[in-house]
Amino acid sequence: MIGIDTNVLVRYIAQDDRAQSAAATAFIEQQCTTESPGFVGLVVVVEVVWVCQSAYGATRTDIAEIVRRMLTSRQLLLQDADVVWKALRQFAAGRADFADCLIHQSADSAGCSKIVTFDRRSGMTLLR
């Protein structure tokens, strides 16, 4: 298994740089397999979402589809995929951004009784 950095996934998704996109596509589609998938860490998932939103103007619907495709790809293995699935469902059903949903679901998976925040849109417990 080989770890994949954010920029490789972004080039694969965006197809916006001829040389790098071609290299990313060849790597993911030819070298990453069900038997030896590319590993995508949680930080990479969050960075991919952030880059797609900030640099490419991806909508909430676009983000949900990007994350879903990463989760269902046979070439990729996402860290804590079950937590990412839960975050994706929360994101799709609510108003919080994807990072907040992943924070919430990661803490929940770790057994936290609540998550405190100053962010009113997160759905977490407000710290006063």
8-21 pLDDT per residue, tens: 999 999 999 999 99
Secondary structure E strands in the chain = 2-3, 38-40, 76-78, 116-117, 125-126
- Give me the pLDDT at residue 117, please: 87
pLDDT of residue 118: 87
- How much is the pLDDT for 45? 98
Give CA angle at 53 (49, 110), nearest 5°: 30
Classify residue 37 by its DSSP letter: P
Identify the sign of the CA torsion 41, 45, 48, 50: negative
Q: What is the pLDDT of residues 33-62, one digit of tens each?
A: 999 999 999 999 999 999 999 999 999 999
Question: Tokens 């469902």 belong to which residue?
Answer: 89
Residue ranges of domains in the chain, CATH in brackets = 2-126 (3.40.50)
